[in-house]
Amino acid sequence: MLLIETFIFYLLIGSGVAVAIYLRNEQTNIFDFYFQIALALFFWPLFVPVLLNKRDEYSQNGLPEDEHKPVPEDELTIAISQVEKEFEAALKGLDGWAENVLSSEQYRLEELRSAWNVQADRIRELDLLLAQPDANPDSLSQMTDNNQRVLQSEETRQENIHHLKKIRNQMHVDLLGTLAWVRELVTMIHLAKFSGAPASRAEELIAQIAAAVEGFSEVNTWKNEEQSTIA
Amino acid sequence: MKTFKEIEDLKNKQSNRVELKEVSDFREKDPEENKLAEKILTVKERPSKEDISKQYSLGINTFDLIEMILKDQSKLHNFLQIPSLQSSLLPRFLTISLIGFVLYGLVISLVLTVTGYWPTLASIETWLENPAAMLLEFNPIESSWGNFGPWINGNVVLLIFAFAFGLIATSCVCLPSLYFYSLLAGVRMSMVEVVAHAVKCKAVSSVALIGILPIYVAMAMGAVIFSNNEALISMTLFLGLFLPFIAGMWGTVSMYRAFSILAENMQEENQCKRTFFLDRLVISWSVCYTAVMPVMVHTIWENLSQFI
């Protein structure tokens, strides 16, 4: 019969699309993932454009890749990537041990990673600013022959530059402190797993790591304000 | 000594105050210009792509999407403008649509059971050969299980499947037309974007369908309890089967609004030339969908009913 033949071919194509969706695997939640595969089997014409869409054209936050600045390979980048790798390995090692908290904290964990990079960017910006010649005492104040007003301005300027240096150092200390703390928690996750601690212990540790993002909220606010001013 | 951030905050606050004062003065002057002032405010308040992505990534589940459909569709339209969110929204909208249509099928089956009538379908070929014959008519349920016969012999499952699958499959058939019409209207959309908008339109329709179902059930119950008129009951049942068309209007309106926002992003010279195509785009697609949908549902229903 024509209907049966059509339905068989429809499902055949659908299973192909479902396999492609399975291989693409973008969902974090297992139920959502398998439900999406089932949907793709029956409603494959809706999923074909998604599969054909260039995946690399856009990054996770929906903005084209070229809108992102290239990340310089400095000590901060190396430290962040090292902690990210260790953290990733710890999460993979959990094998569904603390899946509930992982799925609920997924967004905060991603936010924490982006906050590290934002903080590192701010530090680099400040380093660039402080490396400029106008950050040092210059000849203008020397030429003025003890002009009180100029000297006072120069003094305030140096005070502000000193303040900037302090901010930069504080940010650097904060970032490295958080990275070190996350590394410590990562080893505690391993320890909890192999010492037979209850799953709630791992959940607690992951929640603690995710909570670290709140310490960076101030930095994110600055960044957003800066972007809105530019826009 | 104030920090740089504090100074910046202070400056921002001052400039915001000036802007607000200007807008309030502007409003007092001429009520006719209020619309313009509101438009300026709306444009200023529109969030950036990063804000929208961040808002989405903070965790929006399917129930939140249903709430947005009911309360704040502009938020949904904002989400749909972000390319990476379109593919993740698609299965969620599809889930909402399926839930809505399955519930509709269940409720209609219940109403049919209560009235004691069940639709019998003739094939389209038969109808074309003899147009006087009815394509769909309501006959009394004849089963040893009484009115629950269709629930036992699988007719209910068939009805639910025909509507749930048919209504969404129709969107799949009409997708290329929507893509073509949107290009004609000058709205530059990717195929994924078109799919996302079409499925969002279905989700809105299904939510509206669930909304109007209680009213319909009350009406149908009224017809059954207070009147034994067969023609009236038959008309009520026909109306029940056409409810997805009525609910579809909400989806169409939602699609029109979403496309209007997209048209605002077009170049100014194109906006004048092409924006009037938007009405035609939505009407053409609605006509296309309305023509395909009954054929699709009927074909699936009629063909599968031969196996029962």
Q: Are the C-beta atoms of residues B108 and B159 closer than 8 Å to each other? A: yes
Is the same domain home to B121 and B3? Answer: no
Q: What is the largest CA-CA distance in chain B?
A: 92
Structural contact between residues A112 and A212, judged by C-beta atoms closer than 8 angstroms: yes
Per DSSP, the three-state class of A94 is: coil
Between chains, do A46 and B195 touch, taking CB under 8 Å as contact?
A: yes
Rounded CA separation B105/B297 (Å): 12
Beta carbons of B90 and B195 less than 8 angstroms apart: yes
CA–CA separation, B207 and B216 (whole Å): 15
> For residue B179, what pLDDT is reported?
86
Q: How confident is the model at residue B94 (pLDDT cuts 50, 70, 90)?
A: very high
| A51 neighbourhood in chain B, CB within 8 Å | none
Taking CB atoms and an 8 Å limit, are A62 and B85 in contact across chains?
Answer: yes
Q: How many CB pairs under 8 A join A and B?
A: 84
Partners of residue B118 on adjacent β-strands: B139
Question: What is the average pLDDT across B7-33?
Answer: 49
- Give the whole-angstrom CA distance, residue B137 versus residue B24: 62
| Same domain flag for B101 and B5 | no
Interface test with B, best of A13, A50, A162 (most B CBs within 10 A): A50
**Residues of chain B with C-beta less than 8 angstroms from the C-beta of A62:** 49, 52-53, 82-85
Q: How far apart are CA B93 and CA A50, in angstroms?
A: 14
pLDDT at B50: 56
Nearest-CA residue of chain B relative to A59? B84
Number of Cβ within 10 Å of residue B243's Cβ equals 19
Residues B34 and B153 in one domain: no
Together in a domain, B2 and B96: no
Is residue B38 located within the same domain as residue B84? no
Share of chain B above pLDDT 90, in %: 20
Q: Which has the closest alpha carbon to B306: A4, A8, A5?
A: A4
Give the integer Cα–Cα distance in Å for A229 and B11: 12
- Looking at residue A64, what DSSP letter applies? B
Show Cβ contacts of residue B135 under 8 Å, excluding neighbours closer than 6 positions: B121, B122, B124, B127, B298
Predicted local distance difference test score (pLDDT) of residue B26? 43
Cβ neighbours of residue A113 closer than 8 Å, sequence gap 6 or more: A80, A84
User: In 3D, which of B132, B103, B113, B143 has the Cα closest to residue B233?
Assistant: B113
Residues B34 and B103 in one domain: no
Q: In the beta sheet, which residues pair with residue B121?
A: B136
Is B201 in the same domain as B279?
yes
Q: Where are the beta strands (DSSP E) in chain B?
A: 117-121, 136-140
Do residues B140 and B288 share a domain? yes
Q: Is the dihedral of CA B203, B172, B105, B294 positive or negative?
A: positive
For the stretch B118-134, what's the b/e string if a residue is b when 16 or more beta carbons lie within 10 angstroms of its beta carbon?
bbebeeeeebeeeeeee
CB nearest B87 (choices: A50, A63, A110)? A50
CB atoms within 10 A of CB B214: 10
What's the rounded Cα separation, in Å, for the pair B89 and B80? 8
User: Which of chain B's residues have a Cβ under 8 Å away from the Cβ of A225?
Assistant: 8, 12
3-state secondary structure of A139: helix
Among A2, A61, A220, most B C-beta atoms within 10 A, so best to mutate, is A61
Q: Residue A203: its pLDDT value, please?
A: 75
Residues of A in contact with B83 (CB under 8 A): 53, 57-58, 62
- Co-location of B235 and B153 in the same domain: yes
- Which residues 6+ apart lie within 8 Å of A110 measured at CB? A60, B57
Residue B301 DSSP SS3:
helix
CA end-to-end distance (rounded Å), chain A: 61
Contact B182, B194 (CB under 8 A): yes
Rounded to the nearest 10 degrees, what angle do helices B277-305 and B243-264 cross at?
Answer: 150
Domain boundary among B27, B45, B63: B45
Q: Does B45 score more than 80 pLDDT?
A: no
Task: Give the range among A6-10, A38-42, A195-199 with minimum mean pLDDT.
Answer: A195-199
Residue of B nearest to A1 (CA): B303
Q: How many CB atoms within 10 Å of residue B264? A: 11
The answer on B129 and B18 residing in a single domain is no
pLDDT reported for residue B216:
94
Interchain proximity B169–A43, CB inside 8 Å: yes
**pLDDT bracket for residue A16 (50, 70, 90):** very high
Q: Report CA torsion sign: A229, B3, B6, B11.
A: negative
Question: B303 vs A45: CB contact, 8 Å cut-off?
Answer: no
- Residue B301 is which amino acid? W
User: pLDDT by residue (tens digit) across B97-132?
Assistant: 999 999 999 999 999 999 888 998 888 888 888 887
Q: pLDDT tens across A83-131, in order?
A: 888 887 877 777 666 666 666 676 677 777 788 888 888 888 888 888 8
Of A43, A52, A111, the CB nearest to B168: A43
User: Which residues does B125 contact at the CB level (< 8 Å), separation at least 6?
Assistant: none
Q: Which of B60, B95, B80, B49 is nearest to B203 (CA)?
A: B95
B84, A62 in Cβ contact below 8 A? Answer: yes
Say if the Cβ atoms of B57 and A159 lie within 8 Å.
Answer: no
Alpha helices (runs of H) in A144-231, residue ranges in sequence order: 148-194, 199-211, 217-230
pLDDT at residue B214 is higher than 80: yes
Which residues of chain A lie closer than 8 angstroms to B304, CB-CB?
3
- Shared domain check, B140 and B14: no
Under 8 Å between Cβ of B155 and B120: no
The least confident of A77-86, B78-87, B157-166 is B78-87
Task: Count structural domains, chain B.
Answer: 2
Structural domain boundaries enclosing B41 = 1-45
Mean pLDDT of chain B: 78
Instruction: Dump pLDDT digits (tens) for B131-151.
Output: 877 888 888 888 888 888 889
Count CB-CB contacts under 10 A for residue A38. Answer: 13
Q: Is the CB of residue B234 less than 8 Å from the CB of residue B117? A: yes
Map residue B60 onto helix, strand or coil.
coil
Provide ipTM, 2 decimals.
Answer: 0.74
Band of residue B55 on the pLDDT scale cut at 50, 70, 90: low
Question: Taking CB atoms and an 8 Å limit, are A111 and B48 in contact across chains?
Answer: no
A136 pLDDT more than 50: yes
SS3 at position A90: helix
Cα B160 from Cα A157, distance rounded (Å): 75
Mean pLDDT, range B209-232, rounded to an integer: 89
Do residue B33 and residue B114 come from a single domain? no
- Give the pLDDT confidence of A155-203 residue by residue, as tens digits: 888 888 888 888 888 888 888 888 888 888 888 888 887 887 777 777 7
Closest approach of B59 to chain A, Cα-based (Å): 7
Cβ distance of A32 and B8 shorter than 8 Å: no
